[in-house]
Amino acid sequence: MKLLRSDGDATLYENRDEVRCPACGDPFSRILLTERREHSFDLAEAARLCVSREESRLVVCTHG
């Protein structure tokens, strides 16, 4: 996984290891881990967006 962006309460990774999405089971393109209550997304390159809620954070996976 390659770190693309991190600003304290939100971290974005690119998937280079075929890690599978917790929601659909397919390898995702990027994953966002966020502790914020709200988030906006620009989905220009995503064919699918998957969301998984954990206890203290939200997990968002995009598939290209």
Residues found near Zn ion in the complex (CB under 5 A) = 21, 23-24, 50, 61
Smallest gap, in angstroms, from Cβ of residue 36 to Zn ion? 20
Query: Judged by CB, which is closer to Zn ion: 32, or 61?
Result: 61
Smallest gap, in angstroms, from Cβ of residue 19 to Zn ion? 11
Cα–Cα distance for residue pair 51/31, rounded to 1 Å: 10
Smallest gap, in angstroms, from Cβ of residue 37 to Zn ion? 22
Residues 6 or more apart in contact with residue 25 via CB below 8 angstroms = none
CB atoms within 10 A of CB 26: 13
